[in-house]
Amino acid sequence: MNNAKFPIHPWKITEIGFNPQHLAENESVFALANGYLGFRGNLEEDAPTGTRSIKGTYINGVYDTAPILYGESAYAFAKNSQTISHVAETKGFTIKADGEHVTFSQSLTNHVRELDLYTGILTRTFSYKTKKGGSIKVQIERLVSQENKHLAAMRLKITGISGGCDVEVTSGVYKPEFEIAKSDDPRTATGKDMNMILTTSGTFKPHYGAYTVLATKSSGMSVAAAITHQVTNAKATPTGESAWTFKGNTSQEIIVEKFATYYSGESKNFDAKQCRDEALSAADTQSYDTFAAQQKTFYKNFWDEVGMDIVGDDATLQGLRFNMFHLLQSTGQDGRTNIAAKGLTGSGYEGHYFWDTEIYVLPFMLHSSPQIAKALLMYRYSILDQARVRAKELGHDKGALYPWRTIGGEECSAYYAAGTAQYHINADIAYAIASYVRFTNDTEFLCNYGTEMLLETARLWYSLGFFNTEKGGKFCINHVTGPDEYNAVVNNNVYTNLMARENMLSAIRTLNDLQAKDPQKYTALKNKTNLSEEEIQDWDNASEAMYLPYRPDTQIFPQDEGFLDRKPMPIKDIPKENFPLLLHYHPLVIYRHNVCKQADLVLAMVLLGDYFTMEQKRENFHFYDAVTTHDSTLSKAVFSILASEIGEHQKAYDYFMFTARLDLDNTHKNTKDGLHMANMAGTWLCLVQGFAGMRCYGNTLSFAPHLPQGWESYTFNMHFQGRTIKVYVDKSGSKFSLVRGESIEILVDGKSITVHSQQ
Under the rule (CB under 6 A), what is the footprint of ligand BGC? 341, 349, 354-356, 483, 485, 597-598, 632, 634, 678
Q: How far is the CB of 9 from ligand BGC (least distance, A)?
A: 29
Contact yes or no for 351/63 (Cβ under 8 A): yes
First to last CA, the chain: 44
Query: By C-beta, is 161 or 377 nearer to ligand BGC?
Result: 377
Q: How far is the CB of 114 from ligand BGC (least distance, A)?
A: 29
What CA–CA distance (Å, rounded) separates 239 from 210?
Answer: 10
Q: How far is the CB of 597 from ligand BGC (least distance, A)?
A: 6
As a whole number of Å, the CA-based R_g of the chain is 27
Stated as kind and residue range, the H or E segment containing 68 is none
Q: Any idea what DSSP says for residue 575?
A: -
Query: By C-beta, is 339 or 507 nearer to ligand BGC?
Result: 339
Q: Are strands 466-468 and 309-311 parallel, antiparallel or unpaired?
A: unpaired
From 674, 681, 24, select the one nearest 351 (Cα to Cα): 674
Query: By C-beta, is 624 or 714 nearer to ligand BGC?
Result: 624
Query: By C-beta, is 257 or 663 nearer to ligand BGC?
Result: 663
Contact yes or no for 338/381 (Cβ under 8 A): no
Task: Supply angle C-alpha 438, 704, 483, rounded to 5.
Answer: 60
Query: By C-beta, is 68 or 112 nearer to ligand BGC?
Result: 68
Q: How far is the CB of 588 from ligand BGC (least distance, A)?
A: 17
Query: By C-beta, is 342 or 398 nearer to ligand BGC?
Result: 342
Q: How far is the CB of 417 from ligand BGC (least distance, A)?
A: 12
> Omega into 570 within 30° of 0, i.e. cis?
no
| Residues 6 or more apart whose Cβ sits within 8 Å of residue 463 | 391, 396, 397, 398, 399
Contact yes or no for 122/30 (Cβ under 8 A): yes
What CA–CA distance (Å, rounded) separates 592 from 574?
Answer: 15
From 408, 510, 412, 418, select the one nearest 457 (Cα to Cα): 510
Q: Any idea what DSSP says for residue 360?
A: I
Q: How far is the CB of 508 from ligand BGC (least distance, A)?
A: 28
SS3 496: helix
| Residues 6 or more apart whose Cβ sits within 8 Å of residue 1 | 315, 657, 661, 665
Q: How far is the CB of 664 from ligand BGC (least distance, A)?
A: 18
- Kindly list the strands in the beta sheet with 234-239, ordered across the sheet, starting from the edge strand earlier in the chain: 100-101, 94-97, 167-172, 243-248, 234-239
| Residues 6 or more apart whose Cβ sits within 8 Å of residue 678 | 341, 354, 356, 359, 360, 361, 633, 634
Q: How far is the CB of 284 from ligand BGC (least distance, A)?
A: 43
Query: By C-beta, is 43 or 339 nearer to ligand BGC?
Result: 339
- Residue of 168, 411, 485, 645 with catalytic role: 485
From 212, 247, 211, select the one nearest 231 (Cα to Cα): 247
Q: How far is the CB of 430 from ligand BGC (least distance, A)?
A: 17
Contact yes or no for 137/130 (Cβ under 8 A): no
Q: How far is the CB of 30 from ligand BGC (least distance, A)?
A: 21
From 680, 673, 674, 677, select the one nearest 658 (Cα to Cα): 680
Q: Residue 380 corresponds to which amino acid?
A: R
Query: By C-beta, is 185 or 544 nearer to ligand BGC?
Result: 185
Annotation says 253 is catalytic: no
Query: By C-beta, is 209 or 348 nearer to ligand BGC?
Result: 348
What CA–CA distance (Å, rounded) separates 205 from 208?
Answer: 5
Contact yes or no for 97/165 (Cβ under 8 A): yes
587 phi/psi in degrees, rounded to 5: -50, -40
Q: How far is the CB of 631 from ligand BGC (least distance, A)?
A: 7
What CA–CA distance (Å, rounded) separates 483 from 597?
Answer: 9
What CA–CA distance (Å, rounded) separates 223 from 264?
Answer: 4
Number of residues written out for the chain? 759
From 137, 134, 135, 153, select the one nearest 145 (Cα to Cα): 153
Active centre residues (catalytic) = 485
